Amino acid sequence: MVKKLKSAYFYGKHDLRVEETPAPQPGPKEVLIQVKACGICGTDVHIYEGDKGAAEVTPPTILGHEFSGVVAKTGSEVTNFREGDRVCIDPNCYCGSCDYCRSGEVHFCGNMIGYGTTVNGGFAEYCVVKESQVYRLGENTSFEQGAMAEPVACCLHGIDMCNLRPGHQVVIIGGGMIGLLMLQLAKLAGAAQTALLEPVEKKRAMGKKLGADICIDPLNEDVKAKLHEAGMNWVQTVIECAGRTSTMEQAIDLAGNKGTVMMFGLTKPEEQIAVKPYDIFRKELTLKASYINPLTQARALELIDKGRIDVESMVCKTIGLSGLADVLGNPGMRAEGKYIVIPEK
């Protein structure tokens, strides 16, 4: 008798079904992972809502690209892992032979495989992954922490692009998981002062705990006045993590002379922002965006395992596969913090 395993299949907008299917089997260069934890990402929400995420999704597909687990079986040609290893994955697999890959810009690979987007991912009890995408968890890293390695890796790529130097003043817009990770990375990069703009009191409190010098309620407080009171009169870096057109426009407005605006948050594909070219000219602003996590997974795991970054404080709850659709479809639940799916729960 073939053992049936539970997986959450995405069939289209607002259509997610938990089904039982036979256990997948690894090919010669693949690893079968028993998924222990899988984070719910904003990209998963965009896809669930029928929008385009970081990659094209062709239903039916198992979503979930932030996951960790235990190696359950290895293919005949796998040499670096064995059954029982505690691991996580980098979900973006590059071909290595297209023009982008051969030029070092692997994240624009024309033949990319995305676990949890273009192929089945981690919202399942088991997932098959190429050996090249598997990373061991450190001794001090839990499965829940390991599931957070991919978002940390994405944030690392964004921070790398920010021109952030020791002594800079940094404003973070949005105190969700990504904003709180960016806050910590900005401090590790040497930011002298950091401000977090977040309307939810609970998230502002978390930002303060994680080292923000000032936390501002942008809906009820004068942001510029508060920054001035704190002595933040030349903001060199603004990192937008809310994924709203209004906050992207605000980021451009708050950036000081020679400042860099990192538009990290993901909007709907059709949305547009109003930009005044004169303001960009007058302040010599640099506008940037950051796409996925090119080869930053190992650095993320090091930061997590060595306790240099807190990835647990923003997790509000763990749920089973049966609760996944509720979280994806409920902004109020997601506003409470990061949800982690435990497939066996």
- Name the residues annotated as catalytic: 43, 46
d(CA 54, CA 40): 14
What the block records as the tokens of 304 is 């997590």
Which amino acid, residue 26? P
Burial class, 145, CB count within 10 angstroms (exposed 0-12 / middle 13-18 / buried 19+):
buried
HSE at residue 152, side-chain half, CA atoms within 13 A, is 27
d(CA 256, CA 9): 46
Q: How far is CA 261 from CA 99, 280, 287, 297, 336, in A?
A: 28, 10, 5, 24, 27
Q: Please choose, from the candidates 95, 27, 45, 38, the residue with its C-alpha nearest in 3D space to the C-alpha of residue 67.
A: 38
d(CA 202, CA 193): 21
What are the beta bridge partners of residue 261?
Answer: 238, 287
What SS3 class is residue 108? helix
The residue behind tokens 């909007």 is 267
